[in-house]
């Protein structure tokens, strides 16, 4: 992730590159798939719980699309995990990965 100052040293704007977004989609998809499999659920079963199409679940897991925030909340509830755990696992930021590891080792 990069910081774009737009040529103004006193102001900064956080810029997410296309590669950052692609990596986030890939990681979040993996986290969703891992949580679904841990719950021993199929994409069809998860889609039925969320009143959506199984292809939607597949697109999320493949990293083709990102779920909306509302959909992410529903996914976390259906999978009995926290949104934070899904996003922490998905984040390409090292600080988020360390925070997730601290939570795991604290158990």
Using a 10 angstrom Cβ sphere, with 0-12 exposed, 13-18 middle and 19 or more buried, the burial of residue 14 is: exposed
Distance of CA 102 to the CA centre of its chain: 19
pLDDT one digit per residue (tens) for the chain, 107 residues: 444 444 545 444 567 789 888 988 999 999 999 999 999 999 999 999 999 999 999 999 999 999 999 999 999 999 999 998 888 766 555 665 555 555 556 76
Pure H helices in 1-107? 18-38, 43-49, 54-62, 69-79, 83-90, 94-106
Sign of CA dihedral 77, 70, 22, 104: negative
Q: Which residues pair with 15 in a beta bridge?
A: 2
Paired residues of 3 in beta bridges: 14
Q: How far apart are CA 47 and CA 88, in angstroms?
A: 23
pTM for the full model? Answer: 0.73
């Amino acid at each position: 992730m990069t910081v774009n100052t737009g040529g103004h040293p006193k102001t900064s704007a956080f810029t997410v590159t296309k590669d950052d977004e692609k990596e986030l989609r890939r990681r979040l998809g993996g986290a969703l798939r891992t949580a679904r499999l841990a719950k021993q659920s199929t994409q069809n079963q998860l889609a039925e719980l969320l009143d959506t199409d199984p292809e939607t679940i597949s697109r999320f897991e493949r990293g083709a699309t990102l779920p909306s925030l509302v959909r992410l909340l529903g996914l976390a509830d259906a999978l009995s995990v926290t949104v934070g755990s899904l996003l922490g696992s998905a984040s390409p930021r090292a600080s988020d990965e360390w925070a997730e590891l601290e939570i795991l080792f604290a158990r």
